[in-house]
Amino acid sequence: MEVPGPLRRGRYAMVPARTPAPVVLAQRVLLVGLAVFTASTVLRPEPGWSVLFDGWLYGGCALLVAALVVARAWAVRAERGAWLALAGGVGANAAGEVVYSTLVAGPAETFPSIADPLYLAVFPCAYVALVLLLRARVRGLPAAVWVDGVAAGLALAALFSAVAFETFSSTTLGGSAVVVAVGLAYPLGDLLLLAVVTAAVVVLGRRADRRWLLFAGGIALFAVADTLLLVRVARGNYAEGTPLDALWIAAGVLYARAAWQPTRQISDRRPDSRAVLAPPLVCTVAAVGVLVAAYDVPLPRPAVVLAALALAAVAARLALTFREVTALADSRRQALTDDLTGLPNRRALLAALDGAATGRRAARETTGPAPGGLLLLDLDRFKEINDSLGHHVGDELLRQLADRLAGRTRPGDLLARLGGDEFAVLLAAGTTPEGADEVAAGMVRGMAETFALDDVTLHVEASVGVALWPQHGQDPRALLQRADVAMYRAKSTRGRVARYRVEDDPHGRDRLQTLEALRAALTRGELVCHYQPKVTLSDGAVRSVEALVRWQHPDRGLLTPDTFLPLAEQTGLMRPLTLAVLDQSLRQLRTWRDQGRTLSVAVNLSVTNLLDTDLPDDVARLLQAHDVPPSALVLEITESVLMADSRRAGSVVDTLRSLGVGLSIDDYGTGYSSLSYLQDLPVDELKLDRAFVGRLVADPRSAAIVRSTVDLAHSLGLRLVAEGVEDAATLDLLRGYGCDVSQGYHHSRPLPADRLEAWLDARGRSRPAPRRHDAPPVPVQADRRLPSPLDAG
């Protein structure tokens, strides 16, 4: 029977929504046959064998049922194996009817007969069909479902034997143990199939279609008919040609109807674990109940043996389940682990990122943002090592690198290998931007020690990109992509570490969105200044602060300068941004002076600012507007800024100096023309770069540079400020070298104005600013330079 083309979907030809006409006709003929046979049993004068009805009509109905099921298996490929199994069962049953009608039926018939093996063949065939259908409908159905069926059958057989064995004993049936066994096989087989189809309906739940109900109805009719037959045979009053015989034909009709029910889309959902575990649990309870009852009530030996076998089947099922769970756990571990290094792999990292992002969003809703981030590390020139020394050397390098990086991560951080020479570190919740930079710098320093590989000693370098959550993205994959962008920029930086910047991202959508948001932020006043105190080492007084700009983003929280200053520099927003910071800093300075705090403030200037000839007029206007003396403002510039256009920048610097404001060289020591510029620039102060200060205690060369720079500044009549002071040991050395001012986390982080006031009050009120003939105060700087990725600001 050919199925039309439109019925084919994907890999399988599906059962049509409308049953083909020949099948409908055959089903109607089958129903008519059932009605005629049932009427014949009711209208007969007395029960007895009828060749026409019990032979030809009954056998014809059985053959038609088999033909419909075989046609389903032949015409439609979907779930063909299951329907072939059922076709074998109903075909054997039909053959049994033919054998019974021609060779057994009559006054001399015996039980069991040669037709009984054919009748009994329907049970294993139907069992296989049901299991195959269930496995096709539910993805991931465990193989132990086969054992569940065996356990269910044994448990039901134990219950049935405990209750009814005496009734159907060999004495009652008048035969041998074979007679008893064959007689009980029919109802027990029906109960087994009924248990399987019931379990299938439980597992499928609402996904169970109509054919499962038809199956259940057919099996139930078989169970009723077989049980009634056994009862009548045991009592000696069974006769052919009664309405009881119609139940078997009715069950076959339901099978044939089930075969041609429309097939739904196969489900991708896994079974409910509770539903899968229900059959073995019920079987265990039933078997244990029989065994416990046997202690108090004499039960037939077959019931006890069957209950024991049911428990053995349940034990086998649990063993299979344990093996499947172990295999699943091992498979999951392998799927989330890098084979070479034993570290978590990319899949594990993405899963951890998803979990971390979800947890941090929840934390943000309740207790505020929980900063964290992602580091991405890539070895430089790793391909050359593989090509020159062989992949086995490259693999050993990656294994040693994994061990070394593991020693550089903190508790709570997740180190993973993404593939090739790329590693990533998911930073624990609560990690600050400065903490992320510190971990990244530690990973780079970890490359300083050489690697001993296959009698070869190698020195390798790595670049690390830093992406922070939520500043640089809240989506895990976006965070990974932005760490990758930062990592490629790190390859061209001196420290080999870089934070993500919007302007480095080749994907322009975020850049444009950030740019528009920054324009709006300038209008709405979302830029705020935090202030970091500068401590005079001679007496411990705080006479100046550095202004560090922040962006109070309405969605992403407080953003540090590296996320928006470079973009402002490139897009023409640096002038309004600088004026906004100058205005806010001088207004705050006026407030402090009105409170009796004679502080100075420093603001950093960028390349764009120093090439702006209108800047001196803007500075003069703001000083006058806030009634702040020019000496209370220090403008910080870097050497690289002066190298952009030395003539024009020098003119702007001279004009600013004529206003009376202080000038400071920031990040001193990082340029290449420091001494030549010191000859010509009218500066008051040098700020030694944190790269030298941070290594002061551990590196004698850095100590020598700091000591000589202090002497140079003093010989030129300049004040020296050391930034990046992180500990007391560094502070003591600076004081011993004669350094004038220190600034760093050892004293205080950058603070909002109100928190800085509380900090100052805890130390005592600030002392008066020095007189003009003293070295000028070292003020506060707005973080306007192109920031270093390790910049604490």
pLDDT tens column, 584-615: 999 999 999 999 999 999 999 887 888 788 89
Match 């020019």 to its residue by tokens: 630
Pairing between β-strand 527-536 and β-strand 741-743 as defined by DSSP bridges: antiparallel
Mean local confidence (pLDDT), 362-391: 69
- Contact call for residues 518 and 567 (beta carbons, < 8 A): yes
Give φ, ψ of 165 to 5 degrees: -65, -45
- Contact call for residues 626 and 582 (beta carbons, < 8 A): no
Task: Give the model's pLDDT for residue 60.
Answer: 85
Task: Give the model's pLDDT for residue 506.
Answer: 55
- 781, pLDDT greater than 60: no
Mean local confidence (pLDDT), 354-373: 54
Query: Which residues have C-beta within 8 Å of that of residue 493, sequence separation ≥ 6?
Result: 789
Cα 514 from chain centroid (whole Å): 28
- Lowest average pLDDT, out of 43-57, 202-216, 740-754, goes to 202-216
Among 306, 304, 296, 209, smallest CA distance to 259 is for: 209
The residues pairing with 559 across neighbouring beta strands, listed in sequence order, are 551
Separation of alpha carbons 673 and 640, rounded Å:
9
Task: Give the model's pLDDT for residue 362.
Answer: 46
Give φ, ψ of 743 to 5 degrees: -150, 135
Task: Give the model's pLDDT for residue 784.
Answer: 34
The residues pairing with 545 across neighbouring beta strands, listed in sequence order, are 533, 601
Mean local confidence (pLDDT), 651-679: 78
pLDDT band at 616 (very low <50, low <70, confident <90, very high): very high
- Contact call for residues 661 and 619 (beta carbons, < 8 A): yes
Task: Give the model's pLDDT for residue 461.
Answer: 83
- 14, pLDDT greater than 60: no
- 303, pLDDT greater than 70: no
Geometric angle at alpha carbon 704, from 701 and 705, rounded to 5°: 90
Q: Dihedral of CA 551/437/782/672: which sign?
A: negative
Task: Give the model's pLDDT for residue 611.
Answer: 79
Task: Give the model's pLDDT for residue 778.
Answer: 38
Among 424, 440, 431, smallest CA distance to 495 is for: 440
- pLDDT, one tens digit per residue, over 401-436 is 888 888 888 888 888 888 888 898 988 877 888 888
* Whole-number Cα distances in Å, 77 to 82, 210, 526: 10, 20, 67
Query: Which residues have C-beta within 8 Å of that of residue 255, sequence separation ≥ 6?
Result: 65, 69, 86, 90, 214, 215, 218
pLDDT band at 7 (very low <50, low <70, confident <90, very high): very low
pLDDT band at 176 (very low <50, low <70, confident <90, very high): low
Task: Give the model's pLDDT for residue 368.
Answer: 41
- Contact call for residues 299 and 247 (beta carbons, < 8 A): no
Among 638, 564, 633, smallest CA distance to 607 is for: 638
Mean local confidence (pLDDT), 50-64: 83
Q: Greater confidence, 664 or 383?
A: 664
Task: Give the model's pLDDT for residue 585.
Answer: 95
- pLDDT, one tens digit per residue, over 77-124 is 777 888 888 888 888 888 888 888 788 776 656 667 788 888 888 888
Geometric angle at alpha carbon 207, from 202 and 210, rounded to 5°: 90
Task: Give the model's pLDDT for residue 369.
Answer: 42
Among 154, 152, 164, 151, smallest CA distance to 300 is for: 164
Among 579, 649, 617, 630, smallest CA distance to 776 is for: 630
Task: Give the model's pLDDT for residue 157.
Answer: 66
Match 């330079």 to its residue by tokens: 785
Q: What is the pTM of this model?
A: 0.42
* Helical spans, DSSP H, in 45-144: 58-75, 80-99, 116-120, 122-137
Cα 318 from chain centroid (whole Å): 30
What is the DSSP code (8-state) at residue 751? B
Which pair of structure tokens corresponds to residue 340?
């070479």
Q: Greater confidence, 224 or 632?
A: 632
Burial of residue 378 (number of CB atoms within 10 Å: 0-12, 13-18, 19+): buried
> Which amino acid type is present at position 522?
L
Torsion of CA 600, 604, 609, 611, to 10 degrees: 100
- 535, pLDDT greater than 90: yes
Give φ, ψ of 627 to 5 degrees: 55, 50
Task: Give the model's pLDDT for residue 444.
Answer: 87
Listed in order, strand segments (DSSP E) in 428-556 are 451-453, 456-458, 462-469, 497-499, 527-536, 542-553
Q: What is the mean pLDDT of the chain?
A: 77
Task: Give the model's pLDDT for residue 776.
Answer: 42
* Whole-number Cα distances in Å, 50 to 54, 596, 685: 5, 122, 122
- pLDDT, one tens digit per residue, over 723-770 is 999 999 999 999 999 999 999 999 999 999 999 999 998 887 544 444
- 365, pLDDT greater than 50: no
* Helical spans, DSSP H, in 100-209: 116-120, 122-137, 145-164, 170-173, 177-204
- Contact call for residues 446 and 405 (beta carbons, < 8 A): yes
- Which H, E and C letters describe 292-341, residue by residue? HHHHHCCCCHHHHHHHHHHHHHHHHHHHHHHHHHHHHHHHHHHHCECCCC
Task: Give the model's pLDDT for residue 777.
Answer: 41
Q: Quick one: what percent of the chain has pLDDT higher than 90?
A: 16
- Contact call for residues 592 and 535 (beta carbons, < 8 A): no
- Lowest average pLDDT, out of 85-89, 282-286, 351-355, 594-598, goes to 282-286
Burial 14-42 (b: 16+ CB within 10 A, else e): bbbeebbeebeebbeebbebbeebbebbe
The helix/strand/coil state of 533 is: strand
- pLDDT, one tens digit per residue, over 138-172 is 665 555 665 666 666 667 666 666 655 555 554 44
The residues pairing with 638 across neighbouring beta strands, listed in sequence order, are 666
Cα 728 from chain centroid (whole Å): 43
The helix/strand/coil state of 602 is: strand
- Which H, E and C letters describe 223-248, residue by residue? HHHHHHHHHHHHHCCCCCCCHHHHHH
Q: Greater confidence, 31 or 359?
A: 31
- 772, pLDDT greater than 80: no
Q: Greater confidence, 767 or 135?
A: 135
Helices (H) then strands (E): counts for the chain: 29, 18
- pLDDT, one tens digit per residue, over 466-498 is 988 777 777 777 788 888 888 888 887 777 888
* Whole-number Cα distances in Å, 487 to 377, 440, 496, 505, 670: 7, 11, 8, 11, 22
Separation of alpha carbons 493 and 117, rounded Å:
85
